[in-house]
Structure 1
């Protein structure tokens, strides 16, 4: 009759009085240990197809998504993400990188408090046509990859220069289609807002 492991993890260990069966012995240990290890799958789809009845505490690495997930008893949640390098955003005419010497405008996908999020850094220089911001305020020439797009519109506040501007912050929309758009520049009753640079250091949003 099998005995329990010494750590109270519910792992059954064959007893010396059990009938000899090498295959059963190895399979029994493997089947007990694998669900308690950090399992690896090609994607969330493969994980879900393989683990149809997950148990709280199970862990699984997803290669395609680059995420470590943990089952909390009701759902798979992201507990960590792989190393994601900073990606430089391709800018349209009228915008330049390293605004105010803050570095290139870049983004990367990270895990913050168990939630997939996008971090931003750097700044852009802006050349206006009168009071009109270039490209209607859209900062990227190519849409962000699907992995960097939010499930719904995300709106955050970003800093800007107070030179030639009655404002020191602007609105940035991270759109579901993968484009980043600035709002708040131009002329108005309160004055003109044409800051020569817009910054993104310290800005982030959940996806």
Structure 2
């Protein structure tokens, strides 16, 4: 979400800049993070068994955000997944290297992610984010979706 500039937000309103900062933007800082700043997106290197833009969902990326005073990691993009004997290659670990310490949870975080419904018997997969920075796609036996969406994946680090 992009925060509008003060000029855009106050167009046509007589209130002063100070009033808007105190009454509107101050209370919304919990949503936008520290003073409305958004963290930059990071594009991690993928393991050679995986490629980005699965189902045209975009390049896999993440960023660390502060929401309501707590740290979260938000993901977007999609992955093309290949399998060996019914299991995702590389044990499901789609990253070439571990996530940096700032993006690692204090304990394992397990989330669900959408996957191909047309080419799979499941509508979602499990993704485990580990304390050592590894990230793994986990599927049920016989479920081999060709792509996984990371859009909407969010986990707390605290």
Relative to the length of structure 2, the TM-score reads: 0.73
Consecutive aligned runs of 4 or more in structure 1 exceeding 6 Å deviation: none
Task: Tell me, yes or no, if the aligned pair for 1:93 and 1:134 is still in contact at 8 Å.
Answer: no
Root-mean-square deviation over aligned CA pairs: 1.7
Residue ranges of structure 2 left out of the alignment (5+ in a row): 1-28
For residues 76-110 of structure 1, the C-alpha deviation after alignment (integer angstroms, 9 at most, x for no partner) is xxx62754211112111221000000001110001
Find the structure with the greater CA-based Rg: 1
Aligned position for 2:23: none
Q: Residue 177 in 1 paired to residue 127 in 2?
A: no
Aligned position for 2:156: 206
1:119-198 correspondence to structure 2 within 5 Å: 119-185=74-140, 187=141, 192-198=142-148
Cα distance, 1:115 vs. partner?
A: 0.6
For residues 142-162 of structure 1, the C-alpha deviation after alignment (integer angstroms, 9 at most, x for no partner) is 111111111111111111111
Aligned position for 2:7: none
Cα distance, 1:203 vs. partner?
A: 1.3
- Normalized per residue, the structure richer in strand is 1
Residue ranges of structure 1 left out of the alignment (5+ in a row): 1-67, 69-78
Q: Distance in 2 between matches of 1:113 and 1:167?
A: 34
Structure with more relative contact order (C-alpha pairs < 8 Å, separation 6 or more) = 2
- Normalized per residue, the structure richer in helix is 2
Q: How many residues align?
A: 125
Cα distance, 1:113 vs. partner?
A: 1.7
Q: Distance in 2 between matches of 1:169 and 1:132?
A: 15
Aligned position for 1:110: 65
Q: Distance in 1 between matches of 2:67 and 2:122?
A: 30
